[in-house]
Amino acid sequence: MSYHIRTLGCGLRLAFMPEDEKVTYMGFAVRAGTRNENIASYGMAHLVEHMLFKGTKSRSSTHIIQRAEEVGAELNAYTTKEETFIYAALPCDYWQRIFLLLADVVLNSRFPSEELIKEKTVIIDEINSYRDSPSELIYDEFENILFAGTPLGHSILGNERSVKRISATMGRRFMDEYYRPSNMLFFIKGQVDEERLVELAEQVFGCFPNELPLISKPDVSQKPPVVKQIRTRRNTYQEHVLMGSSTFSMHSEKRIPLGLLLNILGGPGMNSRLNMALREKKGWVYNVEASYNAYSDAGMYSIYFASARENVQKAMRSIEEEMLKLVEQQLPERDLFAAKRQVKGQLLIAEDSRESVALNFAKSLLHYDRYDDMQTVLSRIDAITAEQIQQIAAETLRPELMTRLIYC
């Protein structure tokens, strides 16, 4: 898919991916996430995201919702460790209305006190609800352990104490620091009048100087991998296990081969090696999956499963055996071809969601300053060799370097 970028005098980039479709996706991608918080404000980025639609200098929360929904538009937002997205899906005829609404939200949110109290309550309830979902909570706790002492070592939601501490003044200060044009990207996938949008954007953002320096995010110290096993009492019927290690960042050339390797080992397909070994052959688990989280200067991979207590140690040994097979035995070419074909098919199916493509488009530009079309991505997968897969396995799939977190 073709795209182009126009940069305003204030530093805001407008990224266009034109499409002749009735629905347009547009929004802001902001370089501000959990890692930009300090210890006194854990949960700030996520709370700010919640407060964006709760009122601006000229609009109430009700007006914001009605302004979008009365034309069928859908507003959405989410926060990650490194960015925040505020975006909308809308009938293309109403792009101007929604652009001005989104711009007002990211520039002029006021954090009304009553709304702030309500959203804090909602978030604290969300934090507490995680205790009822060990399969989700374990991922947050595992990442906190793996990146302890770094800006990535705390959860997106924060904790009850830190969320209660956040004031409207702190929220506005966070937005002043990070929600500036030179630290944001506006993306459009679909139909708009490009020249008119540029004109409107200049009117709205033109008063912001481009010489404002970007706030540098804290670096993640490159500490050696944490090697430990932690058992936490959760009083669940099954034991939940997450095991893994730190690994390559999103800028590493080894990122794509690692993704293919983990797809072979424990991807979403029922034919993954771990699913075949632990579920189909042994019946020890309902689900086992490997995942990879890549950040701008760090990364982690993990393997999750839940099982009856008497099967946990056997399942962990079986996982290690499957890992060592990939280290010691080079993939036959037919297996490598099949693995590539599978992951390429998965990517093509994911590409079928226009919303996902729009968000990936923006995230790629935010972090890489480019967007690779699907054919480029597929070509990179085709170029992976069996030797690369084995080398990546030898570097990453090392049981002696893994952290293990067990809910029992």
pLDDT tens digits for range 22-45: 999 999 999 999 999 988 899 999
Count the Cβ atoms, other than its own, within 10 Å of residue 192. 20
Q: Encode pLDDT of 87-128 as tens digits.
A: 999 999 999 999 999 999 999 999 999 999 999 999 999 999
Low-confidence ranges of the chain (pLDDT < 50): 213
Q: Which domains does the chain have, with CATH numbers?
A: 4-205 (3.30.830.10), 229-407 (3.30.830.10)
Paired sense of beta strands 299-307 and 285-294, if any = antiparallel
Helices (H), 109-240: 113-129, 134-146, 160-165, 168-178, 194-205
pTM check: above 0.85: yes
3-state DSSP assignment of residue 53: coil
Q: Please give the helix or strand (H or E) that residue 67 lies within, else none.
A: helix 61-69
3-state DSSP assignment of residue 357: helix
Q: Encode pLDDT of 75-91 as tens digits.
A: 999 999 999 999 999 99
**pLDDT score for 213:** 46
How many Å apart are CA 106 and CA 47, to the nearest integer? Answer: 14
**pLDDT score for 402:** 94
How many Å apart are CA 14 and CA 319, to the nearest integer? Answer: 46
